[in-house]
Amino acid sequence: MKYLHLIWAGLFRRKSRTLLTLVSIVAAFVLFGLLDSVSIAFSAGNSVEGAGRLIVTSRMSMQQALPESLGARIKAVPGVTDVASANWFGGVYQDARNQVISFAVSPSYIDLYPELTLPADQRKAWMATRTGAIVGAALAKKFGWKVGDKIPLQSTIFPSKASGGQTWTFDIAGIFHAKDPKAAGREQMLMFHWKYFDENNAFGSGTVHWYVVKVADPAHADAVANAIDTLSANSDHETKTQTEQAFQASFIKQMANVGLIVASIMGAVFFTLLLLTGNTMMQAVRERTSELAVFKTIGFSSRSVLWMVLAESVLLLVLGGSIGLGVVALVIPGMAAASGGMLPIHGLDPRTWGLGVALMLIIGVVVGLLPALRAMRLNIVDALSGR
Amino acid sequence: MKRFLFNLMLVVLIAVVLAVWVMLPWMGVLAAAVLLALWLGLTRNGRQTVSVTSVGLRTLGQRLGSVSVIVIGIAGVVGVLVALLAMGSGLSATLQGGGRDDTAIVLRGGSTSEAQSVLVRSDVDAITQEPGVQQDAKGKPLASAELVVAANVRKKGSDDDANAQLRGIDPMAWALRPDLKIIRGRKFHTGMRELVVGEGAAREFAHMDVGDTVKLGREDWKVVGVFASHDAYDSELWADRAAVSDAFRRGNSAESVLVRLTSPAAFDRFKAALASDPKLKVEAQTTRDYFAKQSEQLTRVIRVVGITVGVIMAIGAVFGALNCMFAAVASRAREIATLRAIGFRGTPVVTSVMLETMLLALAGGVLGAAVVWLLFNGYTASTLSGFNQVVFRFRVDPALIWTGLKWALAIGFVGGLFPAVRAARLPVSTALREL
């Protein structure tokens, strides 16, 4: 630690070169931070408390409807503590571009998601209103909706009996918040009563698109899932039950292999960075040959010269990397807001920081190793005479 | 203060040059290159530049480290940019490829995609009888009512499920898509549970070769053929509509009706006729418009991501290049000062440093583009469009490579300008005196 001043002075011996190198390092780590955050946002399935929940869909495809009566039978399966149902609605507000993630749900649906909080009085009001709907805070903010508003939504799928067209009217009875910022993606949803949906829907009735099942013990989720699928085996509505994570992961896996794309870009970036900083450090040590020889002359051991050069390159990387990740941490809230909730990220994940710091240290050591060895092996007499 | 103003001026110059550069079509670039070559060959300054540059280029071998930083750094930027844009262009080519001006798709009013639409039997009959719809030799309308369901299938070589699009079609469907060819096996027989699968689906999903049997819905289906159409249909499984609606309990309904129009001009008449029919609540679009709309959002996202990543990488590469060129200029300070002392003017010195950087950048750009072309041209990938899997190929076309090279030269320009100016402004006496 007592050499910090010396290392710092060595690093900024040539200010412009160090600054230019720093900017390159910052750019590399900005890119790393952004891509890693996106990749985490995609792979996490943005749910932390999903472990105890199963999703039951039709085995044929997730758009295929299941009978509503199946819910009661699922509830009777041992190990199941609660069941709720949901239907696709495909809502848009005013313009086809303003898609609203909207579901028709059974009354207990919200109870299965303890990470969402709805004030008790609003919940009561919602239950009492046939056409009531509850919306996530982020969605309400986006369209300026308040409790008590009457809003028209067009369903892209289901015509309404009441209006004779695609327009459905809802009364906003409550606004729910997500307790955990990781579940903030759910604040984009609108939910309304399945009963209203079923009665007012001009196409068939008595069906739901998926069930959410709460299991007593997540460790036995597989056994419960099998038991649920057995209920409808060989019927005309066979089901497929999977954990919520598996359900969400199946969507994301199909979207694109985000991890692979991110890894290849980062590979290209860090390979270049290695070359660039390696070159800088090489130059820095070459220039200072005589200074290093002086160090050795006045009594620094070869080993401590090695450590000083290594420390210098690690310091360079850590400095640049921290600035880069810091920039990302500042930028991300803005990006998340601009994406309109598509990217459920709210700050830099600790995992990104961890991986980032590890990368800084590793690259710093790799880059500094050759120049440091060169400095260590320096022969005082040769170096001082400029040979 | 004076120095600050001078630097500010340089920054403004860079901004202007970059803006012009982005706009410049390839003819403009060619003209600029010809002008540069003329200047180099014909004027005194130009000939001086050539000799100074050749000295610089001959010393490249001694600076292999910095040279490779510039070349590989820029190759990385160009490679990543071109790869991401190739993904976008391949995807949009696939999604938009099936669109035609003389074919219209009719969906229920308000629906933005087939999956959201429902048409009942009477709708289908009315739509196919409207004016503007072409008829075949026997007087039957060239129209196909189609039903699309998402079917769970297995991805090849893994246990993962994927949603494949299963399309139930009428016999006319083949005639409506003239670009589509059966490449193996045969078409399905009406009324049988037989599948003809797209080339992409056959490659991506398990049990999709001619002769295989696969379970979709509640039934077993026999794969009897493979077709190729080089658009979004390539990812689909096709079967008889009655068989599909039976297996997925869809009754008599369809989701869309595809019709051939007598001519592209007949579309307006057809659309007006649909709108004026009080029994119908449907909307028609040409398939070209429809497919373009389906792919709009996805391709825009990929473009934005590609350019954002490219810009950040380019910033890193610019500073890397600056660093290396400053070092190069510094190591040649005495040499440059000597040149100036014996009468070389500032312009050749500035231009030669710029030329050197831009040549290195160009080499980097070519390297990056070549690597991406070798690795990714024709590389197949799949993604989710709406609910279903779309299989597409990366397309590294000349336009994208051109974009990549333009970026490379722009990075070289910015990275070379400041060191070049530094070289020219170095006071001759101090530089010569320096050890």
In chain A, % of residues over pLDDT 90: 13
The verdict on A17 and A112 lying in the same domain is: no
Min CA distance, B203 vs chain A (Å)? 15
pLDDT above 60 (res B318): yes
Helix (H) or strand (E) holding A221: helix A221-231
Which range (A252-261, A313-322, B223-232, B392-401) has the least confidence? A252-261
Q: Provide the number of CB pairs (under 8 Å) joining chain A to chain B.
A: 129
- B301's CB contacts (< 8 A; 6+ apart) are none
- Most confident option among A45-49, B147-151, B221-225: B221-225
- pLDDT band, very low/low/confident/very high, at A204 (cuts 50, 70, 90): low
Domain boundary assignment for chain B: 39-96+295-433, 110-280
Total structural domains in chain A?
2
Q: Which domain holds residue A293?
A: 4-45+257-384
CA contacts within 13 A on the Cβ side of A31: 31
A245 within domain boundaries: no
* Closest alpha carbon within chain B to A339: B301
Beta strand pairing status for A167-178 and A132-136? parallel
Measured CA to CA, the distance from residue B402 to residue B84 in angstroms comes to: 14
Instruction: State which residue of chain A sits closest to B385, comparing Cα positions.
Output: A255
Task: Report the residue from B80, B115, B315 with minimal CB separation from A265.
Answer: B80
* Alpha carbons B366 and B385: distance in angstroms, whole number: 33
| Chain B interface includes A263 (CB < 8 A) | no
Strand partners, A91: A100, A155
Given A34, A157, A256, which is nearest B116 (Cβ)? Answer: A157
Side chain identity at residue B284, one-letter code:
A
A30 closest CB neighbour out of B151, B163, B312: B312
Which of A209, A237, A265 terminates a domain? The answer is: A237
Q: Is the pLDDT of residue B367 over 90?
A: yes
What would the mean pLDDT of B233-248 be, rounded to a whole number? 87
Question: A21 in contact with B at a CB cutoff of 8 Å?
Answer: yes
pLDDT of residue B434: 63
Q: Cα dihedral sign for B328, B330, B334, B337?
A: positive
Question: Are residues B54 and B352 in contact, defined by beta-carbon separation less than 8 angstroms?
Answer: no
**A213 and A77 fall within a common domain:** yes
Restricting to B residues 225-244, those with a Cβ less than 8 Å away from any Cβ of A are none
Residue A50 lies in a domain: no
Q: How far is B117 from chain A (nearest CA, A)?
A: 6
Task: Name the phi and psi angles at B163, rounded to 5.
Answer: -95, 110
Q: What is the pLDDT of residues A111-157, one digit of tens each?
A: 888 888 889 899 899 989 889 999 988 888 888 898 988 989 888 77
Closest-CA residue to B404 (of B76, B133, B156, B128): B76
How many whole angstroms separate alpha carbon A35 and alpha carbon A352?
Answer: 10
What are residue A54's DSSP bridge partners?
A213, A243
Same-domain status, A108 and A211 = yes
The token pair that represents B388 in the structure block: 């279903």
Interface contact flag, A203 B118, Cβ < 8 Å = yes
pLDDT at A46: 43
| Boundary (domain end) residue, out of A180, A206, A237 | A237
**Alpha-carbon gap: B110 to the closest alpha carbon of chain A (Å):** 6
Q: pLDDT class for B386, splitting at 50, 70, 90?
A: low
Residue B422: left (phi > 0), alpha (psi -120 to 50), or beta? Answer: alpha
- A269, B316: Cβ pair inside 8 Å? yes
According to the model, what pLDDT value does residue A47 have? Answer: 44
Contact present, A309 and A372 (Cβ < 8 Å): yes
pLDDT digit string (tens) for A304-331?
A: 888 888 999 999 999 999 999 999 888 8
Cβ separation B73–A272 shorter than 8 A:
yes
Query: How far is the CA of B417 from the CAs of B7, B162, B318, B325, in angstroms?
Result: 11, 52, 11, 9
Q: Name the residue in chain A with its Cα closest to that of B166.
A: A61
Name the residue among B408, B320, B313 with its Cα closest to residue B66.
B320
In a domain, A118, yes or no: yes
Q: Are residues A108 and A30 in the same domain?
A: no
Sort out which chain A residues have CB atoms less than 8 A from B316's CB and list them.
23-25, 27-28, 31, 269, 272-273
Q: Please report the residues numbered 153 through 212 in chain A whose beta carbons come closer than 8 angstroms to any beta carbon of chain B.
A: 154, 156-157, 165-166, 203
What integer best gives the mean pLDDT of chain B? 84
Chosen from A13, A24, A95 to mutate, greatest number of chain B CBs within 10 A: A24
Greater pLDDT, B116 or A35: A35
User: Is residue A288 domain-shared with residue A379, that is, in the same domain?
Assistant: yes
| Pick from A96, A166, A268: CB nearest B79 | A268
Residues of B in contact with A238 (CB under 8 A): 218
Q: Is B116 on the interface with A (CB under 8 A)?
A: yes
* Strand duo A99-105 + A189-193: pairing: parallel
Please report residues of B whose CB lies closer than 8 A to that of A62.
150, 163, 387
Which single residue is written with the structure tokens 């600050």? Answer: B4
Tell me the average pLDDT across B196-207: 87
Chain A nearest C-alpha distance from B218 (Å): 7
Q: Which of the four pLDDT bands, split at 50, 70 and 90, describes residue B387? A: low
* Per-residue confidence (pLDDT) for residue A183, from 0 to 100: 66
Quick one: average pLDDT of B317-342? 81
Residue B371 has pLDDT above 70, yes or no: yes
Asked if pLDDT for residue A42 goes beyond 70, the answer is: no
Higher per-residue confidence, B388 vs A68: A68
pLDDT score for B231:
82
CB A310 within 8 A of CB A365: yes
Cβ neighbours of A102 in B, within 8 Å: none
Helix B346-376 vs helix B44-58: angle between axes, to the nearest 10 degrees?
A: 60
Shortest distance, CA B293 to any CA of chain A (angstroms): 11
Regarding whether A224 and A139 lie in a shared domain, the answer is: yes
Q: Per-residue pLDDT tens for A82-110?
A: 899 998 888 888 877 778 888 999 988 88
Q: A220 or B35: which carries more pLDDT confidence?
A: B35
Q: Is A228 inside a domain boundary?
A: yes
**Residues A184-214, buried b or exposed e (16+ Cβ, 10 A)?**
bbbbbbbbbbbebbbebbeeeeebbbbbbbb
pLDDT at A345 exceeding the cut of 70: no
Tell me whether residues B160 and A253 touch, CB distance under 8 A. yes
Mean pLDDT value of segment B157-163: 74
Amino acid at B370: A
Q: Does a structural domain hold residue A22?
A: yes
Give the Cα separation of A127 and A50 in Å (integer). Answer: 25
- Are the C-beta atoms of A354 and A292 separated by less than 8 Å? no
Q: What are phi and psi of B395, to 5 degrees?
A: -125, 105
Closest CA to B367 of B13, B95, B132, B68: B68
Spatial separation of the C-alpha atoms in residues A153 and A166, rounded to whole Å: 8
**pLDDT bucket at A252, cuts 50 / 70 / 90:** low
Query: Are A281 and A183 in the same domain?
Result: no
pLDDT at residue A295, as a whole number = 87
pLDDT for A48 beyond 60: no
Q: With beta carbons under 8 A apart, name residues in chain B contacting A273.
A: 316
What is the distance in angstroms between the Cα of B389 and the nearest Cα belonging to chain A? 7
Cα radius of gyration rounded to whole Å, chain A: 30
Kindly determine whether residue B320 and residue A156, on different chains, have CB atoms separated by under 8 Å: no
3-state secondary structure of A153: strand
Using a CB-CB cut-off of 8 Å, the residues of chain B touching A67 are none
- Whether the CB of A317 is below 8 Å from some CB of chain B: the reply is no
- Residues of A (335-374) whose Cβ lies below 8 Å from B: none
The verdict on A120 and A222 lying in the same domain is yes
Please name the residue that has the structure tokens 């990749």: A39
Q: Are residues A70 and A152 in the same domain?
A: yes
pLDDT band at A365 (very low <50, low <70, confident <90, very high): very high
Judge whether A205 lies within some domain.
Answer: yes
Greatest alpha-carbon pair distance for chain B in Å reads 97
Q: Are residues A211 and A316 in the same domain?
A: no
**Does residue A45 surpass a pLDDT of 70?**
no
B300 or B267: which carries more pLDDT confidence?
Answer: B267
Q: How far is B429 from chain A (nearest CA, A)?
A: 22
pLDDT band at A182 (very low <50, low <70, confident <90, very high): low
pTM for the full predicted model:
0.75
Selected for mutation to probe chain A from B119, B155, B216, B319 (highest A CB count within 10 Å) is: B319
What CA–CA distance (Å, rounded) separates B46 from B425? 19
Q: Is A275 on the interface with B (CB under 8 A)?
A: yes
B241, B16, B207: which is closest to B124 by C-alpha? B241
Q: Summarize the confidence of residues A65-87 as an average pLDDT.
A: 88
B61 CB within 8 Å of a chain A CB? no
Of A20, A154, A278, the CB nearest to B110: A154
Mean pLDDT of chain A: 83
Whether residue A84 lies inside any domain: the answer is yes
Residue A50: pLDDT over 60: no
DSSP H helices in B24-43: 26-42
Chain B: nearest CA to A2, how far in angstroms? Answer: 30
Torsion of CA A361, A367, A369, A374, to 10 degrees: -150
Instruction: Give CA separation, A16 vs A13, A20, B259, in Å.
Output: 9, 6, 67
In this prediction, residue B365 carries a pLDDT of 92
Which two tokens mark A304? 């401590």
Q: Helices A15-43 and A302-338 meet at what angle, rounded to 10? A: 50
* 3-state secondary structure at position B146: strand
Residue of A nearest to B326 (CA): A17
Question: Looking at the predicted structure, is the pLDDT value of residue B297 above 80?
Answer: no
Q: What is the DSSP string of B254-284?
A: BSEEEEEBSSTTHHHHHHHHHHH-TT--EEE
- Chain A interface test: which of B152, B299, B380 (most A C-beta within 10 Å): B152
pLDDT at B407 over 70: yes
The Cα–Cα gap between B135 and B63 comes to 73
Report the residue from A27, A278, A282 with minimal CB separation from B312: A27
Quick one: A217 and A287 in the same domain? no
Position B262 scores a pLDDT of 87
Res B196: pLDDT: 92
Statement to judge: residues A15 and A148 lie in one domain: no
Residue B123 distance to chain A (closest CA, Å): 15
3-class SS string, A163-200: CCCCEEEEEEEEEEEECCHHHHHHHHEEEEEHHHHHHH
User: Over 80: is that where the pLDDT of B314 sits?
Assistant: yes
Q: Are A6 and A302 in contact (CB under 8 A)?
A: no
3-state secondary structure string, B344-400? Answer: CCHHHHHHHHHHHHHHHHHHHHHHHHHHHHHHHCCCEEEEEECCEEEEEECCCCHHH
Is B381 within 8 Å of chain A by CB?
yes
For residues A8 and A318, give the distance between their C-alpha atoms in angstroms, rounded to a whole number. 13
pLDDT, tens digit (0-9, with 9 covering 90-100), for A5-27: 888 888 888 888 888 889 889 98
Share of chain B above pLDDT 70, in %: 98
Measuring CA to CA, how many Å separate B257 from each of A358, B26, B140, B385?
Answer: 57, 44, 15, 20
Cβ contact (<8 Å) for B216 and A60? yes
Q: Which amino acid is at A345?
A: I
Residue with the two structure tokens 């860090």: A270
Nearest residue to A271 via CA among A379, A366, A369 = A366
